Amino acid sequence: MRAIFLKEFNSFFSGLTGYLVIALFLLLSGLFVFVFEGDFNILDYGFADLTPFFLIVPWLFIFLIPAITMRSLTNERDLGTLELLVTRPLSLRKLLLGKYLAAVALMILALLPTLIYIFSIGQLGEEIYNLDYGSTFGSYLGLVFIALTYTSIGVFASTVTSNQIVAFLLAAVVSFLFYFGFESAATLFPDALFIEKIGLKYHFESIARGVLDTRDLIYFISIAVFFFALSEISLKQILDRK
């Protein structure tokens, strides 16, 4: 598994993919948060905290993470190396886990430079660094769990099709539905409050308050494990047909 992880992670930076994803994430988040006028602009927000940043990142992840994961298994199938990999003493689970963790590591690497925003925003308040650090770091933890979940969905999408564009679109749509879909559905059925609780956004906002609830952690882990298990089943079926 370690070899697969290193191979996959290094492949991001042997070409432009890794640099492009990180640069694009930092550029877009910086423009929305500090330059473009609107709901995501911190200077227009009126409060010295990173709430607008934490609102925009799940949107960016919906497009960036599928762009990373769309080639996870489709690339191996196109090159004909999938069968070669599984003939080695390597289980399907370890193969998927190595690719999964490499994509997660890349997104965490993209998030790290944004920690400087904490120091930047800290200078804007009436009292320097008068921030709600519990909420801030809780939100960062929530973004990591969002990345874990979206990546699992993306890896699954790459196992059900050999077309990278289809894998990208499928992962983006499913990620969008899990984050925003249940909240929207809940507005149609006001009495069914449980519908909103099925969505990622509800649990992300819960963690973002700065109070860790094991129910939120279990939820994110369960969704990630669910799609990871589907990826394993889907990949096994592909190999059985060959």
130-152 mean pLDDT:
90
Q: Indicate if the pLDDT at residue 65 is higher than 70.
A: yes
pLDDT-based confidence at residue 26 (cuts at 50, 70, 90):
very high
Number of independent structural domains in the chain: 1
State which H helix or E strand residue 235 sits in: helix 214-241
Domain residues for the domain of 212 are 2-241
So what's the pLDDT on residue 188?
74
More confident residue, 94 or 157: 157
So what's the pLDDT on residue 189?
72
SS (H, E, C) 4-51: HHHHHHHHHHHCCHHHHHHHHHHHHHHHHHHHCCCCCCHHHHCCCCCH
Q: Indicate if the pLDDT at residue 88 is higher than 70.
A: no
Q: What is the pTM of this model?
A: 0.90
So what's the pLDDT on residue 28?
93
Q: b vs e for 157-179, b when ≥16 Cβ sit within 10 Å of the residue's Cβ?
A: bbbbbeebeebbebbbebbbebb
